[in-house]
């Protein structure tokens, strides 16, 4: 459904963070470079048995702790961790200012069509409920419950990755111990003992490296994204409640500025002939701009 004139599409648009993708292998590359400068070839770090213990054991521990569905969802989220969401808080604020202006002048029913045309689900559903719910307390309760559930879902992949980051180093130590047991039980020339111990400790390198170079950075990116989404929902909650109470747009603008946004009301299409208008404006508030000759709301 297309948005009406004067409305912005506030749907978050995703794009790839090229810079983060280029920097992501930096830690692993530094480790390999340090090995090469020490005269040790990178192939010395390839040990399939150690990789099986660390990677397979971490996955097995996750499947015991969480459901396969949650683990698959985490893998999908990790694959999209390098997508960044457009910072659209200003667009959200402008859209809510437009709706607040019309609701303040003409009532909540006048924004029903515009609310249905919004692409942001939280804002669209919240405004639809606000039109039907006369109580601000009831509206806030529903929005708070939905915000809590969505926040929990957004942070779930980050928590699972952090749990995996706790399992991986321990399994690396387990792999090193198993490798030492194998070296001690296998007879061989005395000179081979040192190389066997070195191979055994590769599992520890895998575990610590996986946790600190892969899992924790991915969890940090996902947690930052969840925090931004929570901030967006909080901003929309303030706007939805203000629109429901037909708060003067100047007051709403002041509330929205506390989020660090610049709310600029867009001009909206004129109301249909015969539409009801408010009999008067609240005392002490500046009038809204009705045409090009009047100053626009700051």
Q: What single-letter DSSP state applies at residue 111?
A: G
The rounded distance, in Å, linking the Cα atoms of 77 and 217 is 13
The rounded distance, in Å, linking the Cα atoms of 48 and 25 is 21
Mean pLDDT, consecutive 10-residue segments, the chain of 298 residues? Answer: 46 64 77 78 81 93 94 91 78 89 88 85 90 86 92 94 95 89 74 70 91 93 92 92 90 88 58 41 36 40
Domain chopping of the chain, boundaries: 89-136+232-257
The rounded distance, in Å, linking the Cα atoms of 199 and 47 is 7
Cα end-to-end span (Å), the chain:
30
- pTM, 2 dp: 0.73
């Amino acid at each position: 459904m297309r948005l009406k004139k004067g409305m912005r599409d506030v749907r978050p648009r995703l794009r790839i963070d090229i810079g983060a993708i280029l920097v992501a292998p930096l830690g692993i590359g530094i480790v390999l470079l340090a090995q090469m400068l020490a005269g040790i070839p990178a192939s010395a770090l390839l040990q399939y048995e150690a990789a099986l213990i660390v990677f397979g054991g971490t996955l097995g521990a996750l499947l015991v702790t969480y459901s396969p569905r949650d683990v698959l969802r985490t893998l999908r989220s990790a694959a999209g961790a390098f997508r960044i969401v457009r910072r659209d808080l200003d667009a959200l604020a402008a859209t809510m200012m437009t709706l607040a202006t019309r609701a303040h002048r003409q009532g909540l029913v006048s924004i029903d069509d515009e609310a249905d045309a919004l692409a942001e689900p939280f804002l669209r559903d919240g405004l639809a409920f606000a039109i039907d719910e006369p109580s601000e307390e009831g509206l806030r309760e529903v929005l708070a419950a939905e915000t809590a559930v969505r926040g929990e879902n957004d942070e779930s992949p980050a928590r699972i990755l952090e749990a995996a980051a706790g399992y991986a180093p321990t399994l690396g130590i387990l792999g090193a111990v198993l490798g030492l047991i194998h070296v001690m039980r296998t007879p061989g020339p005395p000179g081979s003992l040192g190389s066997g111990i070195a191979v055994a400790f590769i599992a520890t390198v895998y575990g610590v490296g996986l946790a600190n170079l892969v899992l924790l950075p991915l969890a940090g990116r996902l947690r930052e994204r969840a925090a931004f989404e929570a901030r967006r929902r909080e901003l929309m909650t303030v706007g939805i409640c203000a629109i429901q109470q037909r708060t003067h747009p100047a007051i709403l603008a002041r509330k929205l500025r506390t989020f660090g946004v610049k709310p600029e009301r867009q001009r909206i299409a004129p109301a249909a002939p015969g539409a009801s208008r408010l009999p008067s404006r609240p005392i002490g508030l500046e009038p809204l701009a009705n045409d090009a000759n009047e100053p626009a709301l700051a």
